[in-house]
Structure formats: structure tokens, C-alpha cells
Structure 1
Amino acid sequence: MTARVRMAENGAQLVSRLEGRQSLRDIEPSIFPVDGGPGQGDVVEFHGLEGTGKTETLYHLITRCIMPVQSGGLEVAVVFVDTDYHFDMLRFVSVLEGRLAEDSKEGDGPENEPEERVRSCLCRLSVVHCNSSVQLLLTLQYLENTFSSQPSLGLLIIDSISSFYWVDRFNGGESTVCQEANLRKCAELLDRLRRNYGIVIFATTHAIMRNYGSDPGVSEVPGSSSSSSRRWRSADSVTDFDKPYLCKAWQRIVTHRMLFTKSHVLKDSKQVFSTACTSIMTKGVKRCLFHVMEDGIKFVCDK
């Protein structure tokens, strides 16, 4: 069916559809570099150990997307693919209600009933669950028709794209090609989705311990030539937990990488989390500190 949709679409329709995608470059200036936010077709990897604030940051960004423009949002529809079964709808609604209440206090938002405003925002969010890499691949294939027919859909989130890493390694035996087969197909399909439909992709990856002999301060994407390699420069030094480890097909399409850490030092009796965002389009690192509060994340500073 997807092939028939593409065959029936002419050039004018393609341009019209792509121009209908809302830009996400200003989704959160506190996190992304100036003029370096995710544009159409960009892929952002959220990397870190469990409990470092990745999912909470996703809640914050989703809220920004699905809120109406008059309330400071982008009014963009989002598809959330939950492979870890960590998506907490009650927690997310609490964050959304907090943002909407904050907007109401400022007097800029519409005067609708709170429940009606929440319901209106949630209509722009779709949550899908996957429990294997095969199911993830089939889900992405199904979603292609959705993206091709709904220009309001601007963001695809996968939490986490590395969930089935160890299962696939076990099932693939000693062959690296077999171990990475499903994820490679997913990455190739995601590459097609972002190029053909201008979709922005956010995906989290779990940090695991790997042994590398390369420069500890720079992580080079495997599979790229030395003359055109993409290098991810961290804020301080990259540990083995921070190194990319997924298949080359995935690493080739990543345009932004965010490293999440949790500080052992409290600030104002609150746990401090940090991100360091790098992009292949901009130089330097965008650092950010934040707390996780009852109504979502609160930024401590913006460097």
C-alpha cells in the first residue's frame, strides 16, 4: 500500500506535504545549541545510564510539541514508540497539566476548562508498544503510511531503540551480521522516513560498558572514512559508557547526540541532572543542568 501511495503522489504533492511539517528547531533552546535544533529529517540520540533523566526530558519535549501555539507550544503531533514499557501516562499528564497551569497563570493561554485543554493536547499524541525488534520493524513499516498522509505528524520518538540489543545479540549467534540484522533494517527504514517525509526522530539508547582503544575524548562513528568521519565531542571526557555501540546503519543517520548524567552533588537539596548536546552541524557542546520536579523538568542554568 505504501508503494501505491508513493506512486500516486506527484512532485507538487510531495513539496506540499514536506512544507506542511512544523519545524522543531526551537523546540527547547535550553537543550539544543543556538541555531542547532533539530530540523526536518534530523535524528537525535538521547544516551545515558538509566535514571539520568532521558524519559523526563522526552516528556518535557513532547509537552512542548503537543501544546497549542497560543500556549507556547508547537502544535505538532507526536508518535511515541515505547519499547521499554516505561511510558507513564499518569506522570506525563501531570507534567502536561503543570505546563498548562503555568501558562494560565501567565494569562497567555485560552480560558478553556483544564480537562478540555489536556484532552485537546493528548489528541496529538499516539503511544505504541513494541516487545521485540521484529515488532518494532513492523510498526515502523506500518507508520510510513501514517506519516505520508498526516503532515501534522512531525516527531517520532523511540524509547528505547537499544532495548533489544542483548536479545538480538543472543539470537544472532556468533554472526555480527545476524545480531544486527533487525536493528539495521529499522535504521534503514528510519532513514527513509526522515528523508522522504521530513520526520524528526528522537531515540534513547541505554549506556553499556564497552572496551575501546580510541581517543577517550572523541568518539568516531564506525563505518565512516577518516576524511569525512563524524566526531562527537563531549563536554569533558567520554567514558566507555558514553561510546556509541549500535550498528553502523543507525550511527550514520544520527545528527545530534545528547549525553545524560546525574550529579552526586545536590543543589538546593535537589538532585541535579545534566545534558551535553553535540551536533554534526555546529561546533562545540551545549551544556544544560536541570532538576526533575513534580510538574516536569526545571532548568538550573543555560550555558
Structure 2
Amino acid sequence: MGSHAKAWLVEDESAREMLDRVLTERPFLLLPPLHRVPLRVGNVVELVGPSSSSKTHILIQAAITCILPKLWKGVSYGGLGHSAMFIDLDCRFDVLRFSELLNHRIMEAANGSSSKVGCHQKDSEAQFERMKPYNEELFALCMKRFLYIRCYDSSEFLATLKTLHYRLQKEREVHGVNVHLLLIDSIGAFHWVDRGSSSFPLECDNRKSWHLQNVSEAVVQEIRRLLLVHPMLVMATKAVVLGNKYSTNELTWNYRKWSAVDNPYSRNITSSDQQLPYREYMPAAWQSFVTHRILVRATDDDLVNGEHQNNSIYLLKWLLPPLNSLDKFTVRDTGVFILS
């Protein structure tokens, strides 16, 4: 027992290494359609919206930007050159879609590099053939930087967060780069299951009962501890249901106020007068942890002209910090694109 306790006190890095890791200047992460507000490590961004509102696509685009290098073999890819951790609570992640988008970003940068030097079509095709092995090498490198975990219930999610420090440390030793982005798809996936089983006691009488508030507080606590050792930008999606009064074609959203009395497990993080266009259901521990909140939803409109033909239009609005702007964007086979 004594030797086990001493193992926790064994140093694994010097003070200089710790300061270099914690105080390293990290770049802003400006991601269309999230370009209105600069995002940095330590921020917790929540993407809320109904199903099929492209929330996961935004996470995928953020992950690809993170794992791509800024410059590689003389070609600019505009990435951050870090690793990204994707925790899938929805269990519907499409790795094929992710690989297609990543491959397109790589080819787009390579083709753009060849066009800048004024190559003719034949020269461009020859350049593409020469770049193909390099593109495949870069694709493999980026996929190694993308770390994926799937959880099927809150117990697995908490166990993952508790052991994530050791995995991130191991990945840093193997790949030589830090994890810059922590992505959580569908943070409320287990909310209603946990709420329904809130009265189930644990085996030991001296431990807390398994209920919704304890789970949420434990999740927030583990993420806070993780960010102290591994500074990251946290992005999480959350599925919500908008009221019937919010037509999908309205460009002006009239926010409806939901009282905390209606839901004992939630409260507003800014004031009791905050107005939201959806019913908040996450516990207060999570709501107060979020630093940025964005609402996204689909419209009934489709683009019928131009290069984005027959693609759905989505709307995005910043709720925290509140901005008056309303952005339109669309999702194509090649990624997310801003329209206005």
C-alpha cells in the first residue's frame, strides 16, 4: 500500500517541461461558421440544436483543422498540427465521412499549391501524381492524430474521463504533439437514462447515490482536472427541441423564457431573465461550465443556384456571448461553407 501511494509522488517531468507545456502560446481557432468569436484553449463551447442541424459536421471540421499541419513539405494546409480527441456519446460517428473530408482538404491544398505556380493542365496532372504518395503519407499521419473513443453510458463516459490523462500523456510521447481539441458529441445523450435511474443506489452505502446531479458534477469536475494538466479547447454538441412557434424559415428568432421552476435540474447561467428558444434540460453544473453557446438549426430552404446547388441551408446564432448577427451556412460533400 505504501509503495502504491509513493508511485503517485514520482515526478514524470521537470518544472521547466511543465511550464513549457502549460505556458506555450497557442493559436486562435477560427472555424467557419464559428468565426465570429475567437476560441482558445480553456474555452468550453456548446453547440445546441435539433437533430440534423449539422452539429457533428462542425465538430468534424474543427477536428480536421486541428490535426492538419500548418505547413508540410512546402505546402500550406492551414492546420494547427495538434492531435484531437473525439468522444462519441451518440455512437453514430461516420469515420468514412471523416476520412473523405480529410482527404479532400489535403488534395485541395495540394492542388492550390500547384495552381499558384502557374502550372498547365498536363503539368498539374503530373504534379498531382508526384504529390499522391505525399498526400497518402500525410493522410496517415493525420489519422494517427485523431483519437476516437465511443461510450455507451455515463459509467463508461466517467471512466474515460478519469483515465484520459494517461492516454493523452502516452499519445504525446508517441506522436510528439499535444491534444489541442476535446470534442464531445451529444453531451446529453445519457441524460434521460440517468434521470430515470436516479433512485438506484450503489452497492456501498457510504457512496453517493447515482443520480443526475452527481453524474453531471462528476463530468464537469473530471474535465476541469483534465484541462489543468492538458490545456485544450472543449467543444460539445447537445440535441434540443425547438418550440413549434419557431418556424424554420424565420430569420428573426423570438426567444421564449423557460423558468428554472419548470425543470429542477437546470437553471440559467447568466440570470433568471435569460431567454432561450429551447427547453434547457442539462443540470446547472454543466450550464455554468460552458463559456460559449451557439444555436444552430436547419431551414426549409435549399440552394438551387450556384455551386451549392440542392444543399440545405442552416442558421447559426451566438447565444453566449450574445451577438446580433445571424449566419447562414451550408454543408457540402467537401465541408461546411459560409453563405452570409
TM-score, normalising length: structure 1: 0.81
2:102 aligned with 1:107: no
Q: Give the % identical residues.
A: 24
2:17 aligned with 1:17: no
Match of residue 154 from structure 2: 133
Match of residue 178 from structure 1: 211
- Determine if contact 1:180/1:247 at 8 Å carries over to the other structure: yes
Distance verdict in 2 for CA 1:262–1:29, change over 3 Å? closer
Q: What does residue range 1-303 of structure 1 map to in structure 2 within 5 Å?
A: 4=8, 11-20=15-24, 22-23=26-27, 25-28=28-31, 30-33=33-36, 36-70=37-71, 71-107=77-113, 111=131, 113=133, 114-147=135-168, 150=172, 152-173=178-199, 178-208=211-241, 216=256, 222=267, 229=270, 238-239=276-277, 241=278, 243-268=279-304, 269-280=310-321, 284-285=323-324, 287-301=326-340
Indicate the SS of the match to 1:72: coil
Cα distance in 1 between the residues matched to 2:259 and 2:70: 38
Number of residue pairs matched by the alignment: 283
Distance verdict in 2 for CA 1:9–1:287, change over 3 Å? farther
How far has the Cα of 1:138 moved from its partner? Answer: 0.5
How far has the Cα of 1:272 moved from its partner? Answer: 0.3
- CA-to-partner distance for each residue in 1:52-94, whole Å, 9 max, x for gaps? 0001111111111111102111111001011111111101011
- CA-to-partner distance for each residue in 1:143-167, whole Å, 9 max, x for gaps? 0223456361111111111110010
How far has the Cα of 1:121 moved from its partner? Answer: 1.0
Q: Which amino acid aligns with 2:143?
A: L
Distance verdict in 2 for CA 1:31–1:73, change over 3 Å? same
Kindly report the root-mean-square deviation, in angstroms, between the aligned alpha carbons of the 2 structures: 3.3
Indicate the SS of the match to 1:84: coil
Indicate the SS of the match to 1:107: helix
TM-score, normalising length: structure 2: 0.73
Structure 1 stretches lacking a partner, 5+ long: none
Q: Select the structure of larger CA radius of gyration.
A: 2
Q: Which amino acid aligns with 1:290?
A: F
